Copies of this chain bind each other. A is one copy, B any other.
Amino acid sequence: MQEKLSKLKVLLAEVADLQAASSVLGWDQLVNMPEGGAEDRGDQIATLERIIHIKSTSDEIGQLLDDLVGSIKDLDADSDNARLVKVAKREFDKATKVTPEFVSEFARESTVAQSVWEKAKKASDFKSFQPHLEKLVDLRRQYADFFKPWDHVYDPLLDDFEPGMKTAEVQEIFNSLRPKQVELIKAISEKPQVDKSFLTLEYPEKDQWDFGVQVISKFGYDWTHGRQDKSTHPFTTNFGLNDVRITTRFNPEYLPTALFGTMHECGHALYEMGVDKKYNRSPLGGGASMAVHESQSRMWENLIGRSRPFWNYFFPRLKEIFPSQLGNVDIETFYKGVNAVEPSLIRVEADEATYNLHIMLRLEMEIALMEGRLAVKDAPEVWNEKFKEYLGIVPPNDEKGVLQDVHWSFGGFGYFPTYALGNLVSAQIWERIVTDIPDIDALVEKARFEEILAWLRENLHVFGAKFEPQELVEKVTGSKITPEPYIRYLDKKFKEIYNL
């Protein structure tokens, strides 16, 4: 068995190396690549993805897994080796259902579509992106068909980001969450709005960059194993566990964009940086799921980054960098300002109370696209209608509407719901941390994040993808994904801010 395990690990490491290579090409495409390189890059990534697919579905790996699945029964079911085989077998079974031709075509189409989307977004020109999105929707439906029979066409897509979770489960969670969020937003809308005018002044990019770097350095972002760049849409990526990069973007006239975006991506990065290095170059070397990942990004962005103790430490420092913009703002006003609840256009800049509505809108559209009930050409119109219905406002153009997110441009249908799930998990985990570290506010107030990061590493990060997400959430918090802690968190916070 040891020999077979070693052999399997070598083969999986090779696949991991190729996946890392593909990620480098993807990162480069979004951060550096001149536009003329798009088509060739599509070919390069398609070739890599095809080889990754062939290698990760090889008969050799299949045979080793079949042999090992039997013999690991003698091992502790929670041992690294038993879990490695289990996770690898799960991924192998999924991957073998899809043809290499499909993988290659999807990689090529999505790479080209991303470049088209970048330009289409800038020009607010949905028409130029439409044929690419149509192709990707079609390919994603073909993808789902590889996994028939399913309960719902959306299940296989969701499963890619949230292993084991079903569309019906998400809909159930969302259905119980929606009325409470709507109720909260309604209550807030009846109160006087807090002042946040000071957030929309001129904030030079360089100073924003420096402050963000200061914050995430305090969080514990390890610059010897990462770097930050600018991109159209902020993201985190990693090439193995020792090179975990983040990107951010700036709005020179709106402070929160880069400020909270940087903290958000740093949260993702801290997760990957905290995975046990022994899992490097293996299927366990990464986060457990996107929802768990989002729980980490949202925790650093919101539960820490939009908290009063955080700003007790950082607001004076922010004021030093932006004296003319914030000289007359007191900390209470600032704290309330960065927590203002108000229907807004851009998901990544939405407040904590309205954010999940942005997700619900997208989920409904994705399900309708996949079911064939919604045609791509109608997406901008439906987006705007739903926006009006959910948030009471209508985007002035597609750049700020249907084109705002990168996800559809790489065919990432199934991804969005994990954001909302991540919000829920972040609050679940936070309730647990607060129990274990009762003086947590005092630590945050001194920007002493070491103990918090250590807790997260020990209880969550270190396990990588060893456990399935629901299993892991239960292990860490005592229960599976549930909306109550998040609702409790929102209620408490906004009752106080808005005197509800």
Contacts and interface: CB of A to CB of B under 8 A. Distances in A.
Given A25-B21, A25-B24, A224 B44 contact: no
Interface stretch (A151-159, A236-244, A455-463): A236-244
A33 interface: yes
Interface in A37-67: 37, 39-41, 43-44, 46-48, 51
A222 interface: yes
Interface string A216-243: 0000001111110100000000011111
A20 interface: yes
B18 A47 contact: yes
Given A24-B25, A243-B37, A44 B17 contact: yes
A251 interface: no
A34 interface: yes
A32 B243 CA distance: 11
Nearest to A14: B47
B17 A225 contact: no
Contacts of A47: 13-14, 17-18, 21
A35 interface: yes
A268 interface: no
A192 interface: no
A397 interface: no
B41 A243 contact: yes
A40 B239 contact: yes
Interface in A6-31: 13-14, 17-18, 20-22, 24-25, 28
Q: What is the oligomeric copy number?
A: 2
A4 to B, nearest CB: 21
A53 to B, nearest CB: 14
A243 B51 contact: no
Interface in A51-100: 51
Contacts of A51: 18, 51
Contacts of A225: 34, 36-37
A362 interface: no
B281 A243 contact: no
B281 A240 contact: no
A44 B25 CA distance: 12
Contacts of A384: none
A280 interface: yes
Contacts of A13: 43, 47
Q: Which of A33, A47, A223, A280 has the most CB of B within 10 A?
A: A47
Contact of A242 (B14, B36, B46): B36
Nearest to A281: B43
A249 to B, nearest CB: 18
Nearest to A51: B51
A122 to B, nearest CB: 15
Given A51-B51, A224-B35, A227-B32, A243 B40 contact: yes
Contact of A44 (B20, B34, B43): B20
A223 B34 CA distance: 7
A225 B226 CA distance: 27
A21 B46 CA distance: 11
A224 B21 CA distance: 24
Contacts of A245: 34
A51 B52 CA distance: 11
A227 B31 CA distance: 12
A243 to B, nearest CB: 3
Contacts of A223: 34
Given A24-B44, A34-B225, 13 more contacts: A13-B47, A17-B44, A18-B44, A20-B44, A21-B47, A34-B226, A34-B227, A34-B243, A36-B224, A36-B226, A37-B239, A40-B239, A40-B241
9 contacts: A13-B43, A18-B47, A21-B47, A24-B24, A36-B222, A36-B242, A39-B242, A44-B240, A51-B51
